Amino acid sequence: MIYALFLIWVAVSSSSAQQFYDPSGCSSDTSNQGSRYTCDSAQQPCRTFLVYRANQHFGHQNLLNISALFQVESDELLDLNNIASPLETLKRGREVLVPIICSCSGEYFQASLSYIVSERTSFPEIACGVFEGLLKSLTLLQENPSQGTDVETGVKLDVPLRCACPGGFARFNGVKYLVTYPILEGDGITPLSMKFSIAPEDLLAANHLEPKSTVYPNTTVLVPLKSDPVINLNVPDSPPPTPGFLPTITVEKTKNTKLRKLYIAGSVVGFFLIVVALLACGFYVKAVKKWKGERLQSFTDRNSVLSCSTARSSPRSGQTGRSSTNSCLSPDLLAGIKFSLYNYGIEDIKRATNDFNEDTNKIGEQVYKGLIDNESVMIKQMRFEDTRQVIDMHSKINHVNIVSLHGVCYGENDFAWSYLIFELPTNGCLRNCLSNQANRLSWRRRTQIAFDVATILHYLHYCIFPSYAHMSVNSRNIYVTSKWRAKLANIGSTLAISASSMNDKVVTVNGLVAPQNPMNEAASVKVDVFAFGVVLLELISGKEAAQGTFLKDSIRFLGGGANEGGCFEQLRSFIDPCLKNEYLIAEALCLAILAKACIEDDPLRRPSMDDILKVLGRMV
């Protein structure tokens, strides 16, 4: 039921966010869908903008005259349009942004102005000339029914200019303004989108237009903007459309056999050259594929022998790397591999961790924090055989959302223990950030962190070969940088394994049981999806997943059985109280529904990280 309500809300909001384009001209006496932009009477007024062009014919050649016409302060126009003086004569056709207040009157949006006629004129002249098509003459006549065809001097007219406010779903997508733009001869979708630095698809969607649609002069379109409007005046207008016919000059036909033969010979030679070029391209592509295959095989063969990465001496410690004929980590054996690490001495590690002080430096099981050259690092003690696997994994991946591996220390006692040195992001692990009441994590930062974690899991699942299941995604393995971006740790550890090497039917993730089918490559990555769903629940609620099934039970109301009002109340009670009301309930509902889908008992019903990334991409 809640899924249905959510889908209905999306559909209704989407339809109300899109207005229709009216292709009929300003002076047309027909009223079409889009002649005026529709609204819901419950919608609140909004501040938006329209575009007006300097026009000497009607005396609006500077900002002082334009501000008087639209009844706004000239200083506001100066700041908005980067013009030095309100008396500066503007170039004919220079586009000017004008701020307006758009409100819902009855069933239509409008910006209400009054206009006093300075000389005898007509409604089309006022609507299409003075106001440059920002309303239809029919609309102006309907708003002033007491006037005749001609309008006498001194008459005061009510002018309802076209405008619109973003609907619920448009605001959800970040649309802040819908700018009314009058179309002139030569205007088109592509140059107009370039003029406002938006995607052509967004412009088409805001006006209910199909791809390759034509816009006509003396009409208006709505330009959807996610920030304050800025017009790029350097973008040239589209060339005017080609006329229906061209003047021609009758010429006498002459027969020229020699010229005809020359054309035929040129065509044959050109065709032959094209065939040769295509054959050459085919041979080239085949040769490149063969070369890549041989290179990949060579790399695989070399990796099967070495299967780990170079360690180099750290210039910080001043030591030279030790070699061992028994160690695959020996720099002497791995000098040919490009991936390299600093080789730290055990004294460097002891000095960084205050001799492994458990009171001040220990941050986890066999994990310590420390300083090396005034840089915060995380030092993890591991058995030698496990160290090789971690280094091998880090040598194959490169991603901004992975905690970087800086170096290695072989330890003492014939390499029984080794130490890996990682970067330590400034804000520590996500669990600590969620528990920090003094510096609470805002909703915007939480959605960004969710997107970052989804990005790196998508990379591990789809962008490396073979695909890789982390198997240990939780809020303590996610670290947060000084810019509040997420990084995933524990890549290549014994808990994280190749996606094709699992056979367990039940996996425990963050205190919750994630049932599994016998695991193949496709099913194993679903364990990461389940764990990601648990992380989403922690981001929403602020509670730790160590509380067992509490988090999962807390969102059972999303499965149905509760009315709409009760659902939202239960959702609000589930959301971290530290957030107060500083979040969008629609985003929270979407995130909760996504989390619930991720922790489905049946792995095949869980979404892929590709699907998850598409949903979260609309929130950041």
* pLDDT tens per residue, range 123-161: 999 999 999 999 999 999 999 988 777 888 889 999 999
pLDDT of residue 595: 93
pLDDT at 299 over 70: no
Residue 535, pLDDT score: 95
List b or e across 484-493, with b for residues whose CB sees 16 or more CB atoms inside 10 angstroms: bbbbbbbbbb
pLDDT digits (tens, 9 = 90+) for 270-290: 888 999 899 988 888 888 777
- pLDDT over 60 (residue 4): no
Q: What is the mean pLDDT of residues 356-384?
A: 91
Average pLDDT, rounded, for the chain? 81
| SS3 category, 321 | coil
Which DSSP string corresponds to 274-318? HHHHHHHHHHHHHHHHHHHHHHHHHHHHHHHHH-S-EEEE-TTT-
Residues 6+ apart with CB under 8 A from 267: none
Q: How many CB atoms lie within 10 A of CB 387?
A: 24
Report DSSP state, residue 133.
Answer: T
Least confident residue range of 14-28, 204-218, 311-325, 384-398: 311-325
Each residue of 372-426: pLDDT tens digit? 988 999 999 988 888 888 998 898 888 999 999 999 998 766 567 899 999 999 9
> What tokens does 322 get?
């030790």
Q: Is the separation of the CB atoms in 182 and 222 below 8 Å?
A: no
Distances (CA, A) of 161 to 119, 126, 127, 135: 21, 12, 9, 5
Residue 567: its pLDDT value, please?
83
Tokens of 150: 């001609």
| Candidate from 24-33, 113-122, 316-325 with smallest mean pLDDT | 316-325
pLDDT of residue 414: 55
User: What tens digit of pLDDT does each residue of 482-520 get?
Assistant: 999 999 999 887 544 444 344 444 555 555 556 555 455
Structural element, H or E, at residue 417? strand 417-423
Confidence at 304, pLDDT banded by 50, 70, 90: very low
**CA-to-CA distance for 596 and 559, rounded, in angstroms?**
9
Q: How far apart are CA 343 and CA 372, in angstroms?
A: 13
67-112 per-position pLDDT tens digit:
999 999 988 999 899 998 988 999 988 999 999 999 998 889 999 9
Give residue 559's pLDDT.
67
Contact present, 334 and 349 (Cβ < 8 Å) = no
pLDDT band at 241 (very low <50, low <70, confident <90, very high): very low
Residues sharing a CB contact under 8 Å with residue 232, sequence separation 6 or more, in sequence order = 194, 195, 196, 197
Mean pLDDT calculated for residue range 166-184: 86
Banded model confidence at residue 594, pLDDT cuts 50, 70, 90: very high
Task: Flag whether pLDDT at 247 surpasses 60.
Answer: no
Radius of gyration of the chain (CA): 34
> pLDDT value at position 287?
84
User: Smallest Cα–Cα separation from 366: which of 468, 455, 494?
Assistant: 494
Cα 282 to Cα 267: distance, rounded to the nearest angstrom? 23
- Percent of the chain at pLDDT > 70 equals 78
Q: Name the residue ranges covered by the structural domains of the chain.
A: 16-225, 342-423, 429-617
Residues 140 and 126 sit within 8 Å (Cβ to Cβ): yes
Strands 177-182 and 310-313: unpaired
Is the whole model's pTM more than 0.85, yes or no? Answer: no
CA distances 552 to 1, 126, 492, 593, Å, are 18, 64, 28, 12
Task: Show contacts of 392-396: CB within 8 Å, 24+ apart.
Answer: 392/307, 392/308, 392/309, 392/492, 393/468, 393/491, 393/492, 393/496, 394/309, 394/339, 394/491, 394/492, 395/308, 395/309, 395/337, 395/339, 396/464
What share of the chain in percent tops pLDDT 90?
A: 47
Residue 126, number of CB atoms within 10 A of its CB = 20
Instruction: Report angle CA 316, 320, 324 to the nearest 5 degrees.
Output: 135
E strand segments, 215-356: 220-225, 310-313, 340-343
C-alpha span between 341 and 336 (Å, rounded): 13
Predicted local confidence at residue 522, as pLDDT? 63
The partner residues of 509 in beta bridges, in order of sequence, read: 512
Q: What is the pLDDT of residue 434?
A: 94
Q: What pLDDT does 256 receive?
A: 57
> In the 8-state DSSP scheme, what is residue 241?
P
Q: Are 20 and 33 in contact (CB under 8 A)?
A: yes
Distance between CA 132 and CA 55 in Å, rounded? Answer: 9
Task: Report whether pLDDT(301) > 70.
Answer: no
pLDDT category of residue 186 using cuts at 50, 70 and 90: confident
What is the CATH topology of the domain spanning 429-617? Transferase(Phosphotransferase); domain 1 (1.10.510)
> Given a cut of 60, is residue 347 above it in pLDDT?
yes
Confidence of residue 295 (pLDDT cuts 50, 70, 90): low
Read off the pLDDT of residues 9-40 as tens digits, 9 standing for 90 and up.
Answer: 444 444 444 688 999 999 988 888 888 999 98
Domain 342-423 has CATH 3.40.50.300: no
CA distances from 292 to 296, 297, 338, 340, 421 (A): 6, 9, 18, 24, 34
Q: Report pLDDT digits (tens) over 525-574.
A: 999 999 999 999 999 999 987 655 667 777 877 765 555 557 888 899 99
Taking the C-alpha atoms of residue 593 and residue 588, their distance in angstroms, rounded to an integer, is 9
Q: Which of 264-268, 330-334, 346-350, 576-580 has the lowest mean pLDDT?
A: 330-334
Residue 416: Cβ-neighbour burial (10 angstroms; 0-12, 13-18, 19+) = exposed
Match 């509670």 to its residue by tokens. 543
Residue among 333, 535, 563 at smallest CA distance from 447: 535
Other Cβ atoms closer than 10 A to 615: 17
Q: Which among 495, 502, 498, 496 is positioned nearest to 468, based on CA atoms?
A: 498
Tokens found for residue 3: 């899924």
In one-letter notation, the amino acid at residue 154 is G
User: How far apart, in Å, are the Cα atoms of 449 and each of 277, 381, 401, 441, 484?
Assistant: 50, 28, 10, 10, 7
Q: Strands 340-343, 310-313: parallel, antiparallel or unpaired by DSSP?
A: parallel
205 phi, psi to nearest 5 deg: -65, -40
| Range in 184-193, 515-524, 608-617 with the lowest mean pLDDT | 515-524
Per-residue model confidence as pLDDT tens digits over 445-486: 999 999 999 999 999 999 988 888 999 999 999 999 999 999
pLDDT for 265 beyond 60: yes
Q: What is the mean pLDDT of residues 567-585?
A: 89
